[in-house]
A and B are shown apart, each in its own frame.
Chain A
Amino acid sequence: MNLKLKIWRQKNAQAQGKFVDYTVDNISPDTSFLEMLDILNNNLIKKGEDPIVFDHDCREGICGMCSLHINGHAHGPDTDITTCQLHMRKFKDGDTITIEPWRSRAFPVIKDLAVDRSAYDKILQAGGFVSVSTGGVPDANAIPIPKPDADESMDAAACIGCGACVATCKNGSAMLFVAARVSSLAKLPQGRVEAARRAKAMVAKMDELGFGACTNTGACEAECPKGISIAHIARLNREFLSAKLKD
């Protein structure tokens, strides 16, 4: 396959960015999208040009490091996958592909296609944990947990923290990310204890860090590579409200 690429280049956080056109030739349809960018970078280096910076690591859809807005979609045109799992067979020979970084106030660009997502860590530090220290805990089977609850907790816990929901949301809201963590812990007896306090602290931190408000458009759910349901946002709202009522 031969492809035309329009890629966002930006020297650093302060610099003005712009789209630059590139071409890549002889790409196999079985090549992954990031391998296609590897090939482009290898060519650029040989021509004495600066390679394109993009975040990536596990290349199997679980670490959450890769990002990229491809033709207007977070993680590209395929469903339920991350960019690293996208393969070139989803494109046609001769296509023009536009590649941008996540665009959101809370995720400033570091360079080219890499953004700073440390705000996510800060939200989780505000309360995304169960307050137990190592040791002195009961036997793992001491508290039975209904299978449907454990399954639902796992559904929410599948979030990889990639930021696609924020990048997709017109308000730049992190509600789906926050809800996934709050909901996953709230469905388990171990996490239930601090559920209301956790919801309040994480939402407050999200607001403080410049993420927008949720207006229930559902765009986040549609683009989430792990299929996290917005039903979890309803649970977060419930926890949040119950915390507020106690204030």
Chain B
Amino acid sequence: MIKLDSKAPQGPLAEKWSKHKAEIKVVSPANKRKLDIIVIGTGLGGASAAASLGELGYNVKVFCISDSPRRAHSIAAQGGINAAKNYQNDNDSIFRLFYDTIKGGDYRAREANVYRLAEVSNLIIDQCVAQGVPFAREYGGLLANRSFGGAQVSRTFYARGQTGQQLLLGAYAALNRQIAQGSVKSYPRHEMLELVMVEGKARGIITRNLVTGEIERFGAHAVVLATGGYGNVFFLSTNAMNSNGSAAWQCYKKGAAFANPCFTQIHPTCIPVHGTQQSKLTLMSESLRNDGRIWVPKKKEDVEKIRAKKLKASQIPEEDRDYYLERRYPAFGNLVPRDVASRAAKERCDAGFGVNDTGLAVFLDFSTAIARLGEQTIRERYGNLFQMYEKITDVNPYKEPMTIFPAVHYTMGGIWVDYNLMTTIPGLYAIGEANFSDHGANRLGASALMQGLADGYFVLPYTIGDYLSHEIQSPKVKTDTPEFEAAEKSVKEKIAKLFSIKGKDTVDDLHKKLGHIMWENVGMARTKESLEKAIVEIQALRKEFWVNVNVPGTDKEFNQELEKAIRLADFLELGELMARDGLNRHESCGGHFRVEMQTPEGEAKRDDEDFAYVAAWAYTGTDKEPELVKEPLTFEAVHLAQRNYKD
């Protein structure tokens, strides 16, 4: 039975982190040199952590599945990064950022963690500027800001529509500096396939060299998981094609509790699905909602004409347009949080007002902003996004509104961690999207970049020292031990089994089936029936996978089908846990919308009496029901209330 101890410090909210830092132990420079740390993943969390730990003097090994650390999917984040600088004098503060984040997450995150995130947010911006990140600036030379959903202040820093890219290049540069100095060793095109535990502690990993197929062993005094989210369980998502949940899932099966797996973010502004051959979905940044207005026609006959291509959106007069977000949520308008905007789009489309041939699209219109500011200003702000949109859809968004629809984008759930970011396995840490900690049931825009860098630059480098201070007597971890032997054997057996099946279905065929089950039953609207159905169907599909998958080629070569098969095998288990978690959580909160639980206006209806807790799931064995362990959420600084974006 797993026991959850959040280790959140006592005392006033604003003093918790300072107090905690003063109390935890540090490791001397001479001892840091003797300690090894493995970091898996090189996105914002992994790259910033590996670089910072290297700077501190630890021996770091960093692994990624791409050909270079710079390719990690943080690179694709577009809109920006939040910080409580209050440079705009609009009454922003650490408390306000904290409050917006807790409220945006529908009161399902741990207060102490969220406050710390807001507290270190300002340091991140300073750090990135010092690294040479070319943030957008005003003519006076100072930093510019814009607004994101769920906030009434302008606190988002950005670098055109490529903020994630620029922040990652900053962290990657810091990482490169450490690689050059020898404190970090980089292993690109290596995938972690197993966690190795020795006497109950995380002591290493088994990897597959993706070019040669070689299975390798690596030992360390601590292991840091920075492997991102699991949105690709849906097959179609805005995640990169290679993003996967396997490293996290292997840790779960070794004893790390998995928290709130059903909390999935469906992002409201993505380019709609065009057909069955599609491989992934493309996000259009939330920043577009600063100047874009979302609408559908008021009249059904206009909808019909648009679908039949007899009418253009620009020809519909102002009075016949339903700017439904502005109508329903006057105070926040187009800048309501993502879960609210996505559900509102679904509501209009379900009512028959969807504006493309599939009926699953709404307009995102810039004509008002272009009339007010001129095309040049809009081009400066969003030029690359408009170009991307036009290349994909063949429609010029300066002339006609974009069509958009919600798509899977981010997972708030993840490996359970305490205040130190340590999982329920001693010596195993999880940072960034891979953990569950800061976003509750819905993440606000521009907060993922903030969390990844907060964890990597300013939280983990402090908290990991507390654990490692007890490891200074531990010798180098040897990898020729029975524990490593057994872990390597299980990896090799799994691979051999996959090749032995020689079935008829390709990995992609099966993955598409899983994605369909997930989207239909564990997507934007969930019911008891749909979730129960999903569990049964996923179990059946998992059986089918293990008798009917076709993995071509051999193990000892660059084999992308094998990579995909290993990841899908894990998604087929993870998907079931998501459905199970959603079934247990008989309330609507944030991105988790149970149809049975809604207000008369159709808003998410929480049940704080029964569900103000983190649902952490513990693995109990193959095909056995996992055990639910609850971490109660207590709120000292905020008052729980129905989220209100109307006034």
Could you list which residues of chain A lie within 8 angstroms of chain B, going by C-beta atoms? 12, 27-28, 30-32, 34-35, 38-39, 42, 45-46, 48-51, 53, 55-65, 78, 80-81, 85, 87, 89, 110-111, 114, 116-118, 120-121, 124-126, 128-135, 137-141, 143-147, 150-151, 153-154, 157-158, 160-161, 184-185, 187-188, 190-191
Contacts and interface: CB of A to CB of B under 8 A. Distances in A.
Contacts of B282: 59-60
A120 B278 CA distance: 31
B561 A45 contact: yes
Given A65-B67, A133-B55, 18 more contacts: A28-B275, A42-B508, A46-B506, A53-B558, A59-B279, A63-B76, A125-B180, A130-B131, A133-B174, A139-B126, A140-B126, A144-B141, A144-B142, A145-B137, A147-B139, A157-B166, A158-B162, A188-B134
Interface string B550-562: 1011000110110
A111 B126 contact: no
B274 interface: yes
Contacts of B129: 137, 140, 143, 190
Contact of B388 (A60, A129, A187): A60
Interface in B38-64: 48, 51-52, 55
B70 to A, nearest CB: 6
A184 B504 CA distance: 51
Nearest to A37: B279
Given A31-B277, A42-B506, A59-B280, A191 B552 contact: no
Contacts of B643: none
Given A57-B71, A140-B85, A38 B391 contact: no
Interface in B577-596: none
A58 B76 contact: yes
A123 to B, nearest CB: 10
Contacts of B137: 144-147, 150
B188 interface: yes
A125 to B, nearest CB: 4
B391 A30 contact: no
Contacts of B275: 28, 30-31
B68 A118 contact: yes
B130 to A, nearest CB: 4
B73 A57 contact: yes
B526 to A, nearest CB: 28
B360 interface: no
B67 A130 contact: no
A55 B69 CA distance: 14
Contact of B141 (A117, A118, A145): A145
A131 B126 contact: no
Contact of A117 (B68, B283, B461, B504): B68
B108 interface: no
Contact residues on B (Cβ < 8 Å of other chain), bracket: 35 or more
B73 A154 contact: no
B177 interface: yes
B132 interface: yes
- The 5 tightest CB contacts between A and B, nearest first, are A144-B141, A129-B173, A137-B130, A153-B134, A154-B134
B240 interface: yes
B511 to A, nearest CB: 11
B66 interface: yes
Interface string B248-272: 0000000000000000000000000
B340 to A, nearest CB: 25
B173 A80 contact: no
A120 B392 contact: no
Contact of B560 (A53, A117, A144, A187): A53
Contacts of B75: 58, 62-64
A239 B124 CA distance: 30
Contacts of A130: 130-132, 173
A187 B69 CA distance: 25
B179 interface: yes
30 contacts: A31-B278, A45-B506, A45-B550, A46-B504, A48-B552, A49-B552, A53-B558, A57-B66, A57-B73, A59-B279, A59-B280, A59-B282, A60-B76, A62-B165, A64-B75, A80-B387, A114-B558, A134-B48, A134-B174, A134-B458, A134-B461, A137-B127, A140-B126, A144-B140, A154-B134, A154-B160, A157-B134, A157-B169, A158-B162, A160-B165
Contacts of B550: 45-46
A181 to B, nearest CB: 9
Interface string B594-608: 000000000000000
A114 B67 CA distance: 10
Given A110-B211, A118-B67, A124-B176, A57 B242 contact: yes
Contacts of A51: 552-553, 560-561
Contacts of A48: 552
A58 B240 contact: yes
Contacts of A110: 211, 558
Contact of A134 (B67, B127, B138): B127
A124 B73 CA distance: 20
Interface string B103-147: 000000000000000000001011111111011111111110000
B617 interface: no
Nearest to B282: A60
Contacts of A56: 241
A125 B283 CA distance: 32
A62 B162 contact: yes
Interface in B441-465: 457-458, 461
Nearest to B279: A35
B186 interface: yes
A161 B70 contact: yes
A221 B131 CA distance: 26
A130 B274 CA distance: 44
Contacts of A111: 557-558
B142 A38 contact: no
A132 B560 contact: no
B283 A188 contact: no
Max chain A Cβ within 10 angstroms of own Cβ: one of B125, B135, B277: B277
Contact of B132 (A46, A57, A184): A184
A149 B245 CA distance: 41
Contact of B130 (A87, A150, A190): A190
A59 B271 CA distance: 13
B294 interface: no
Contacts of A28: 274-275, 277
Contacts of A87: 391-392, 394
A179 to B, nearest CB: 15
A60 B177 CA distance: 28
B241 A129 contact: no
B301 to A, nearest CB: 27
B357 to A, nearest CB: 12
A114 B277 CA distance: 23
Nearest to A189: B132
Nearest to B142: A141
